[in-house]
Amino acid sequence: MASHGIKDQVAIVGMGCTPFGEHWHKGTDDLLIDAAEETFASAGVTKDDVDAYWLGTAMSGMSGMALARPLQLHDKPVTHVENFCATASEAIRNAAYAVASGAYDIAMAIGVEKVKDSGYQGLVGAAKTPTDGTGRTLTAAAMFAMCAPGYGKKYGVDNEQMREVLARIAWKNHYNGARNPRAQFKKEVSMETITNAPLMAGGLGVYDCSGVADGSAAAIIVRAEDALKYTDKPIYIKALSLVAGNCSGNADPSYDYTTFPEIAATGRDAYAQAGVTNPREQIAMAEVHDCFTPAELLIYEDLQFAERGSAWKEVLNGTFDLKGDMPVNPDGGLKSFGHPVGASGLRMMFEAWLQLRKEAPEERTIGNDRKLALTHNLGGYPGEMVSFVSILGNELG
């Protein structure tokens, strides 16, 4: 049993990301073309230069032809991947392994989701598998809402304190998103507005839940030794870790909704692959899956950004703010971007790409010069989730 990783074997040499939002005038094909063209230009390659493609989408298309047709790819291998909300991350993970294996020289990972054509607010689900009707019908909001009282009970955080902590997370992400032209929501939101918003599920209000948006993002991957042919600032892949949970949290009475074991496992694995021994001191910034504010709170601890039971205090201290000790979601996160399921993982990497290359706009620049960035993507619910962690770096070694 081993998870060796492919540290420093492949590099990202070009990236693109469409604005995220309600693209009533753009379809899936338009979003794919926009993201792909920006990415080709970023790396200085053409679609014919790319040897193989990985397309991530959870509900906007089936098969590789969903990409080959709009891009008019000629005799190219295109793999369609889906892994809940970690779909885009899954696309780049597989593309990176393909390049590392030597099978291809250049690969593209591209993720897309066209969510706003369903006619409903929120995500309405992907494949409709015939069932016996006994599955849970609860929304993700309600499932994640249970983390707040779970955490509060275990660590002695009362409802009022918890309300402030969760609002502070939302406030921070909207503060960052207000400085990002690609974000769906580009406005700061006051603590008071967040706190008094209408309730959606449990104690979670509208601003505790990420929005829903359309969007696409992509990356070009080459072998590390070839990276400088394409850019003088390549971003090296240090770690890629994925865990698909066995759903035991639903059935295990010892599960207390204060941790996501799948996330903790991907964190440990990714740190081992990358040789990270002290994430808090070695990682410059992290993009994490803030689908709901309690998720971000627990992720801080599962990814070892904070000691167990202490993340809520660090939130209030500003540790995870843009200029804080450990900036989390400097681009505004799912809170500001919305969540096109198949694109979010690559959108997170796009922010790491900008920050590690010092290309983020001045008002959104993080306050440290560390060399590593982390992205984290989850799909599913407390007790049953897919988790992905990547570590990227701007230097070899």
Partner 1 sequence: MQGIISAAGYVPFRRLDRSEIAKTFGSGGGKGTRSVASYDEDTTTLAVEAARLARKSAPDATINALWFSTANPAYLDKNNASAIHAALRLDSQVGALDFGGALRSGVGALRTALDGNSSVLVLSSDMRDGQPTSTDESQGGDGAAAVLVGSDTDGPVIAEYLASATATEEFIERWRAPGSRRSRAWEERFGEVKYAPLVEQAWNAVLKKAELNPDQVNRLLITGMHARAVRSIGARLGASKAAMGDDLATTVGNTGTAHAALLLANALETAEPGQVIALVVLADGAEVLLFRTTDALNAYKPKYTVAKQIENGAPLSYGKFLSWRGTVTLEPPRRPEPDRISASVSGRSEEWKYAFVGSRDNESHELHMPPARISRVGDAVDDMAAAPMSEVEGTIALFTIDRIAYSPSPPITFAVVDFDGGGRLPVELTDVDVDGLQIGDRVEMTFRKLFTADDIHNYFWKARPVRS
**Active-site residue list:** 85, 339
Residue 132 within binding range of partner 1, rule CB under 8 A = yes
CB of 245 to partner 1, least distance (A): 11
CB of 143 to partner 1, least distance (A): 8
CB of 206 to partner 1, least distance (A): 10
Residue 131 within binding range of partner 1, rule CB under 8 A = yes
**b (16+ CB within 10 A) / e for 356-393:** beeebeeebbbebeebbbbbbbbbbbbbbbbbbbbbbb
Rank residues 120 and 190 by Cβ distance to partner 1 and give the closer one: 120
Structure tokens at 301: 């601890």
Residue 133 within binding range of partner 1, rule CB under 8 A = yes
Name the packing angle between helices 293-302 and 159-177 (round to 10°). 90
Cα(370)–Cα(316) distance, integer angstroms: 23
**Element spanning 216, H or E:** strand 215-223
Structure tokens at 132: 């016996």
CB of 157 to partner 1, least distance (A): 15
Decide if 86 contacts 291 (C-beta within 8 A). Answer: no
| Amino acid at the residue 140 | A
Pick from 61, 177, 202, 332 the residue near partner 1 by CB under 8 A.
202
Cα(338)–Cα(167) distance, integer angstroms: 17
3-state secondary structure of 248: helix
Residue 188 within binding range of partner 1, rule CB under 8 A = no
CB of 145 to partner 1, least distance (A): 5
Spatial neighbors of 301 by CB under 8 A, at least 6 apart, are 259, 307, 308, 309, 310, 311
Residue 101 within binding range of partner 1, rule CB under 8 A = no
Stretch that binds partner 1, among 13-21, 29-37, 113-121, 353-361 (CB under 8 A): 113-121
Residue 196 within binding range of partner 1, rule CB under 8 A = no
Decide if 322 contacts 348 (C-beta within 8 A). Answer: no
Rank residues 41 and 199 by Cβ distance to partner 1 and give the closer one: 199
Pick from 1, 72, 102, 137 the residue near partner 1 by CB under 8 A.
137
- Which positions touch partner 1 (CB under 8 A)? 118, 120-122, 124-125, 128, 130-134, 136-139, 141-143, 145-146, 149-150, 153, 199-202, 246, 248, 250-253, 255-257, 383
